[in-house]
Structure 1
Amino acid sequence: MQRAWIKALVLDKTHNSPVVILGLEGSTKVVPIWIGACEANALAISLEGLDLPRPLTHDLIVNLLDALDARLEKIVIHSVKDNIYYATLVIKDLTYVESDDEEAMEENATIEIDARPSDSIVLAVKKGIPIYVSNEIAEYHAVELELPEEMSDEKFKKFVEDLDIEKFRQMLGGNSKEGENSKGDE
């Protein structure tokens, strides 16, 4: 597994679809994942650290986990099938009774739940937990993003705004047909 972080949240202007760009630790490769508009809004709100007067769906999930003494440890984006990414929420049950068998205790106290990457990423931002991608995704679905070594925040913002997402699609195998579901996790 490789650790990842959110490098950018951009709009694929060709398909009018949001794309979250994950950077890979120790690499210039990125993983673009097309997400839905609602999830992009939730992610943007989370990245900005905005507190809303009422909880949104992801806030509700965080509140439920806290109320149930469960801790979201990490998210893992582990596979791609038919151009759809799959992720797992790794949750620690803090109420699990300790035993002398530490390995069994660790295994039983950890819960893995299937989730969409977009929802998982929003939860990771809200809880400040690590995002991981499988080695398979890093090897076969990440693309090289060559940036000048010295790039200011302003220049990077301009670079992202001008980014041609269609080139990402072509690099990933040409999945750019209109109407084809190659949006990542929908």
Structure 2
Amino acid sequence: MEVLGVRVRLNAPEQEVLVLLNEHDGPRSLPIVVGPHEAVAIATVQAGMPMPRPGTHDLLLACLEATDVRVHQVAITELREGTFIAEIVLTNGRRVDSRASDAIAVGLRAGVAVWCEDTVLDEAAVVLDVDEDDREHVHLTGTLGADEAEERVAEFRSFLDSVEPGDFSDEDEQS
């Protein structure tokens, strides 16, 4: 799967944050609802933004490296009662249970493949019609009319123009 990026679903009651995965060799995409902190962790690594201090995902990778173990791949293995179940597959053959959002953030930092079970894709994937001239211009086929899709894309672009990474931080969180 290719991690397309973090998106905000504006029509949700509380503007759900999604990470969007796309099949390498097929038309399906997998939207996964994530928390704002996980969204920032994924978006910052995708944007190549260096962090002044290691975050939790960086710390995990450093601990693994200190024990001569690496991340081999990330696997989204199951959809259980609306929750995506993932595993971080290590080079020593062990598999570590993980939230999908954390597994994706670790996988991106480790530079490894994100893999998804076909049964999960069969159950939860959607088909997106992506304009190749503008990969950010996405129409949800089969669920929205063209005008409504255009309106939602415009709303999302407006949101992206105004959002800052600090908008996703918890004001009560301390360093």
What is the TM-score normalised by the length of structure 1?
0.71
Match of 1:62 in 2: 61
Letter aligned with residue 119 of structure 1: D
Match of 1:7 in 2: 4
State the aligned residue count: 142
Letter aligned with residue 120 of structure 2: I
Contact 2:77 2:86 (C-alpha < 8 Å) held by counterparts: yes
Contact 2:5 2:46 (C-alpha < 8 Å) held by counterparts: no
Letter aligned with residue 10 of structure 1: R
Match of 1:28 in 2: 27
Cα-to-partner distance string for 1:44-101 (whole Å, 9 max, x where unaligned): 11111222221111110111111111010001101011100000110023xxxxxxxx
Match of 1:126 in 2: 109
| SS of the residue 2:85 aligns to | strand
How far did 1:158 drift?
3.8
Distance between the aligned counterparts of 1:49 and 1:126, measured in 2?
Answer: 10
Distance between the aligned counterparts of 1:128 and 1:32, measured in 2?
Answer: 21
How far did 1:135 drift?
1.2
Match of 2:43 in 1: 44
Q: Which of residues 116, 123, 129 is equivalent to 2:99?
A: 116
Q: Which of residues 150, 156, 168 is equivalent to 2:135?
A: 156
How far did 1:138 drift?
1.7
> Which 4+ runs in 1 deviate beyond 6 A?
none
Which structure's CA Rg is the greater one? 1
| SS of the residue 1:32 aligns to | strand
Q: Which of residues 143, 155, 167 is equivalent to 2:126?
A: 143
Distance between the aligned counterparts of 1:42 and 1:147, measured in 2?
Answer: 25
| SS of the residue 1:64 aligns to | helix
Equivalent pairs: percent with the same residue?
23
Letter aligned with residue 138 of structure 2: F
What is the TM-score normalised by the length of structure 2?
0.75
| SS of the residue 1:146 aligns to | strand
Distance between the aligned counterparts of 2:57 and 2:117, measured in 1?
Answer: 24
Contact 2:61 2:70 (C-alpha < 8 Å) held by counterparts: no
Match of 1:184 in 2: none
Gap runs ≥5 in structure 1: 94-109, 166-186
Gap runs ≥5 in structure 2: 140-151, 157-175
**Against the structure 1 CA distance between its residues 51 and 8, is the aligned structure 2 distance closer, same or farther, given a 3 Å change threshold?**
closer
Letter aligned with residue 54 of structure 2: P
**Against the structure 1 CA distance between its residues 145 and 163, is the aligned structure 2 distance closer, same or farther, given a 3 Å change threshold?**
farther
How far did 1:29 drift?
0.8
Contact 2:130 2:137 (C-alpha < 8 Å) held by counterparts: no
How far did 1:157 drift?
2.0
Match of 1:181 in 2: none
